């Protein structure tokens, strides 16, 4: 878990907590599973919410 992250959904929060538990317990399997879930959720969120393109300046 790298620093603070913005929570994107309830599933994302659950995966972040699961990853933290894996780190605390020292269970690499749980940590890796949670990291995969986090990556999938973040990828889905990024692709579904594209940033708007900046407007081109107009000549006045």
Question: Which among 10, 12, 14, 59 is positioned nearest to 40, based on CA atoms?
Answer: 12
State residue 48's pLDDT score: 65
State residue 58's pLDDT score: 75
State residue 20's pLDDT score: 94
pLDDT of 1 higher than 60:
no
Query: Taking the domains of the chain in order of start, what are their residue ranges?
Result: 10-48
Nearby residues of 26 by Cβ (< 8 Å), 6 or more positions away: none
- What's this model's pTM, rounded to 2 decimal places? 0.69
State residue 59's pLDDT score: 72
> What does the pLDDT look like over 15-60, one tens digit per residue?
999 999 999 999 999 999 999 999 999 888 876 656 677 777 777 6
Nearby residues of 55 by Cβ (< 8 Å), 6 or more positions away: none
Crossing angle of helices 28-48/10-25, nearest 10°? 160
């Amino acid at each position: 878990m790298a620093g603070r992250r913005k929570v994107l959904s309830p599933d994302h929060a659950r995966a972040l907590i699961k990853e933290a538990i894996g780190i605390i317990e020292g269970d690499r399997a749980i940590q890796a599973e949670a990291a995969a879930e986090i990556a999938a959720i973040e990828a889905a969120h990024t692709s579904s919410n594209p940033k708007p393109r900046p407007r081109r300046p107009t000549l006045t």
